[in-house]
Amino acid sequence: MSTDLDWFKSSYSSGQGGECLEVALTPTTIHIRDSKTPTTPTVQITPTTWTTFLNSLP
């Protein structure tokens, strides 16, 4: 399923590889994966949890 999603990286990510997360948004779920291993299992959270996480960042 996660390969059918529209994945994106932060605008701060470089094109040189390294450590990066990718995110895919749906109305009910936020999917998060490691960009270096896109076929491994993803973390899935609710939009409310994602918003709470983002709001907790300095």
Q: Could you tell me the residue ranges of all domains in the chain?
A: 2-48
Q: What is the pTM of this model?
A: 0.73
Q: Are 9 and 24 in contact (CB under 8 A)?
A: no
Mean pLDDT by 10 residues, the chain (58 residues): 76 70 92 87 93 92
- The predicted pLDDT at position 7 comes to 92
Neighbours of 40 (CB within 10 A): 9
